[in-house]
């Protein structure tokens, strides 16, 4: 199984890979999140490439998405479910134009993590506001 740090990274990688392309903006956002957010303060940054590659390998399997969701929900304590969804939204918002595949993955993630509809709307609005440009 994976730990909570890896589960959060898997969540971000799932969103980034949803449209079959992990862009520089998405990867940069993942790196910044892991470097600066308090939830990752005790995470060894040297493990990030291994964690992202592990998720990508898992997604190559036939039931990879289902397995990833199972691993994420088992590894994350309930109090980090909204955090995971917020990180996923930040990665999605980094792209500016969010694909239908990414929106669908966010919908599945909301369901798997049992995110309250009002909370998810607030999280999504916050991500949009943080990534807004003129």
Q: Among 42-46, 93-97, 102-106, which stretch is predicted with the lowest mean pLDDT?
A: 93-97
Instruction: Give per-residue pLDDT as tens, 25-68.
Output: 898 999 999 999 999 999 999 999 999 999 999 998 999 999 99
Asked if 107 contacts 72 with a C-beta cutoff of 8 angstroms, the reply is: no
Domains of the chain: 4-130 (1.10.3680)
Residues 80, 83: Cα–Cα separation, whole Å:
5
Residues 74, 54: Cα–Cα separation, whole Å:
17
Is the confidence at residue 96, as pLDDT, over 80? no
């Amino acid at each position: 199984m994976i730990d909570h740090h890896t589960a959060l990274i898997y969540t971000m990688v799932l969103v980034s890979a949803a449209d079959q392309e992990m862009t520089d903006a998405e990867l940069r956002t993942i790196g910044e999140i892991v470097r600066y957010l308090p939830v990752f303060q005790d995470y060894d940054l040297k493990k990030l490439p291994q964690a992202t590659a592990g998720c990508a390998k898992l997604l190559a399997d036939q039931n990879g998405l289902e397995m990833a969701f199972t691993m994420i929900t088992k590894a994350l304590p309930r109090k980090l479910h909204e955090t995971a969804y917020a990180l996923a939204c930040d990665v999605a918002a980094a792209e500016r134009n969010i694909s239908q595949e990414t929106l669908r993955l966010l919908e599945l993630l909301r369901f798997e993590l049992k995110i309250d509809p009002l909370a998810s709307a607030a999280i999504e609005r916050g991500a949009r506001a943080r990534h807004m440009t003129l």
